[in-house]
């Protein structure tokens, strides 16, 4: 049982956390046919590419500032109810632009959702702006420029997500330079769909403090040692990895092997309802599928707070709550 444990999440895509019932209601409100993406309360996709398509389509039913406030508040309330004290949400102001809402209104809605949830439960949250590889390097640079110039204290990180098989990390160096110069924390999706080389690429080109997933680093033991030596923190999302068939089952998932090799690991849910999971389930899996005890799970949560993209005062307050 892990329900009593305090929880922290470093890796969850906001639109990827959209509860199917809320998405259904939104689709009805706007008269959008979502039957190709959502049936019987479950999102429909069959591989990584179709998951990304489904994700983008589902995002289209969230259209206004208030829609984003509601989505954010709903997810953070769900997290707070399972003892979560801190959440980093991966957001796409670019999506706001694409749907005609605008990046500022998109972020304003998300921030209002954070404010409402925090007022009720005390949950802390920060935003990681992401660029999406499948929209090309220019759009990723645009996302970095937006994050750098926003001057929004809740935007504290920059990420690269989307179709990992498109381009190499080196194509996105400029975006990460912009984000780094603005003082944002850096993390990159790598070693999820692509092999160990993508993690090495991320380290060579950007050297981020954290890597989203990174689990396929296990295919190269020298790289595992490099991650351990550098202290790079992995945002591991086991349920997502199994749903996307990165590994066939939890028995072959490398979370424990990476931890035992000295890599800093943390636990997150990625896109929970798309992958039939939740942060609550990911913590339960840490105990039941990976055999970690409470103290080991607390240590991973501590690692997450230590690696969080927050100011030192907030970090101290979160550590005190653990």
Ligand X SMILES: Nc1ncnc2[nH]cnc12
Binds ligand X by CB under 6 A, chosen from 55, 86, 172, 176: 55
Q: Is 273 in the site for ligand X (CB under 6 A)?
A: no
Smallest gap from residue 11 Cβ to Zn ion (A): 6
Provide the token pair at 52: 């990304």
Q: Is 312 a catalytic residue?
A: no
Q: Is 93 in the site for ligand X (CB under 6 A)?
A: no
Q: Is 162 in the site for ligand X (CB under 6 A)?
A: yes
Calculate helix-pair angle for 65-81, 103-121, nearest 10 degrees. 30
Provide the token pair at 116: 């409402």
CA distance 60 to 106: 12
Binds ligand X by CB under 6 A, chosen from 271, 272, 282, 286: 271
Q: Is 238 in the site for ligand X (CB under 6 A)?
A: no
Q: Is 13 in the site for ligand X (CB under 6 A)?
A: yes
DSSP letter (8 states) at residue 101: S
Binds ligand X by CB under 6 A, chosen from 60, 88, 94, 270: 270
Contacts within 8 Å (CB) and 24+ apart, 120-123: 120/77, 120/80, 121/76, 121/77, 121/80, 121/81, 122/80, 122/85, 123/76, 123/79, 123/80, 123/84, 123/85, 123/86, 123/87
Nearer to ligand X by C-beta: 5 or 62?
A: 62
Nearer to ligand X by C-beta: 37 or 85?
A: 37
In the complex, which residues of this chain contact Zn ion (CB under 5 A)? 270
CA distance 254 to 71: 32
Binds ligand X by CB under 6 A, chosen from 14, 129, 161, 202: 161
Using CB under 6 A as the criterion, which residues of the chain lie in contact with ligand X when the complex forms? 13, 16, 55, 161-162, 189, 192, 240, 270-271
């Amino acid at each position: 049982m892990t329900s009593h444990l305090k929880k922290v999440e470093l890796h969850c895509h906001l639109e990827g956390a959209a509860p199917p019932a809320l998405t259904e209601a939104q689709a009805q409100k706007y008269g959008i046919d979502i039957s190709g993406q959502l049936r019987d309360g479950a999102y429909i996709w069959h591989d990584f590419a179709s998951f990304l398509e489904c994700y983008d389509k589902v995002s289209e039913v969230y259209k206004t500032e208030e829609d984003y406030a509601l989505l954010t508040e709903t997810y953070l309330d769900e997290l707070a109810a399972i003892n979560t004290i801190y959440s980093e949400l991966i957001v796409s102001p670019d999506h706001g632009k694409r749907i005609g809402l605008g990046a500022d209104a998109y972020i304003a809605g998300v921030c209002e959702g954070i404010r409402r949830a925090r007022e009720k439960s005390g949950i802390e949250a920060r935003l990681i702006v992401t660029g999406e590889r499948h929209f090309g390097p220019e759009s990723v640079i645009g996302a970095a420029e937006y994050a750098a110039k926003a001057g929004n204290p809740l935007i504290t990180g920059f990420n690269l997500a989307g179709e990992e098989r498109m381009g190499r990390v080196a194509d996105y160096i400029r975006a990460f330079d912009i984000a780094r110069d603005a003082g944002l924390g850096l993390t990159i999706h790598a070693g999820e769909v692509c092999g160990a080389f993508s993690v090495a690429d991320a380290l060579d080109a950007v050297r981020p403090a954290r890597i989203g997933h990174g689990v396929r680093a296990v295919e190269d033991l020298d790289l595992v040692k490099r991650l351990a030596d550098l202290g790079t923190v992995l945002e591991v999302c086991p349920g997502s990895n199994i749903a996307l068939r990165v590994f066939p089952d939890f028995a072959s998932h490398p979370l424990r092997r990476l931890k035992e090799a000295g890599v800093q690991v943390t636990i997150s849910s990625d896109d929970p309802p798309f992958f039939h999971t939740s942060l609550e389930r990911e913590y339960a899996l840490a105990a039941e599928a990976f055999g970690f005890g409470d103290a080991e799970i607390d240590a991973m949560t501590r690692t997450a707070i230590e690696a969080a993209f927050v100011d030192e005062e907030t970090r101290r307050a979160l550590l005190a709550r653990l």
